[in-house]
Amino acid sequence: MAVKNIKLVISYDGSRFSGWQKQGNSQTVQGTIENTIESIAGKKIKITGCGRTDARVHAVSYVANFRTFSGMTPSEWKNAINSKTMPEIAIKDAEETYTDFHSRYDAKRKVYRYLISDTKSPFLKNYACYVKDAPDIKKMEQAACFFCGKHDFKSFQASGSRVKDTVRNIYKIKIRKERFLLDKDVGIISIEIEADGFLYRMARNIIGTLIYAGQGKMEPEKAAFFIESRNRKLAPPTARPEGLYLKKVFYPAGKNSVKKKWKI
């Protein structure tokens, strides 16, 4: 039987996990899904993810893939994993894709979303970053302009990364007010960053700078200085993890196509 490459689109609540990537004895999303697949297939199967997410960071549509000789259809995989895995994880979609598809190396763009609440709410303690002094959106937008485009983002890469090429292209940053439908007294600010790739903690480091600008702790124009300095120690602190979500991953047209349509 020929090997199949199964592509998964996954949403998860990262509150209880030490991130996506499997590490030691820590509970991770990757490790949890691999254990679930092992219980279904009766053998160890490694899953490849589209990138790492930190502890307490969430995902709306994370992409991963694994190879298997099993005769199960993608729909059967989806239902089996969802029935056995933790409730904090949900397989949104499963399909058989090209044999050479790689969820990480084939990704061309990613969108991260960050939520800020201006009021302390027990309903958002794990899902938005509470900022006591609500930032000014106009000032945040002014600072965001300096991040858009192709730059060396070494100043916004956390220590511990082995990546040598720190140049990335940010296509757009959208900042807007939103309503928290459960409690209209709570204001929400959402920040979306779309780029061709992200360095280790780059999204949270940029957002920390945008918050500083919005609170008047720095002039928006100083964002350009932080970028040019290529020195992480000079830039503002990292934003907290619980407000961050990996929203979407984009692939080339051919890599988005399924190899085989299955009748359910």
Return the DSSP state at 11: E
Structure pTM? 0.93
The fold of the 4-105 domain, in CATH, is Alpha-Beta Plaits (3.30.70)
CB 110 within 8 A of CB 248: yes
Per-residue pLDDT 10s for the chain (264 aa) are 689 999 999 999 999 999 999 988 899 999 999 999 999 999 999 999 999 999 999 999 999 999 999 999 999 999 999 999 999 999 999 999 999 999 999 999 999 999 999 999 999 999 999 999 899 999 999 999 999 999 999 999 998 788 889 999 999 999 999 989 999 999 999 999 999 999 999 999 999 999 999 999 999 999 999 999 999 999 999 999 999 999 999 999 865 555 544 332
Active site residues: 54
Question: Helix, strand, or coil here: 158?
Answer: coil
Task: Please list the residues that pair with 151 across neighbouring strands.
Answer: 168
C-alpha–C-alpha distance, residues 222 and 212, integer Å: 10
Q: What would be the CATH architecture of the domain defined by 109-247?
A: 2-Layer Sandwich (3.30)
C-alpha–C-alpha distance, residues 142 and 144, integer Å: 5
Output the pLDDT for position 264.
28
Output the pLDDT for position 257.
53
Output the pLDDT for position 260.
47
Output the pLDDT for position 262.
39
Domain ranges of the chain: 4-105, 109-247
Question: Helix, strand, or coil here: 74?
Answer: helix
- Token output for 73: 């259809």
Closest CA to 116 of 171, 62, 192, 59: 192
Is 109-247 the same fold as 4-105?
yes
Output the pLDDT for position 34.
98
Output the pLDDT for position 256.
59
Considering only CA atoms, give the Rg of the chain: 20
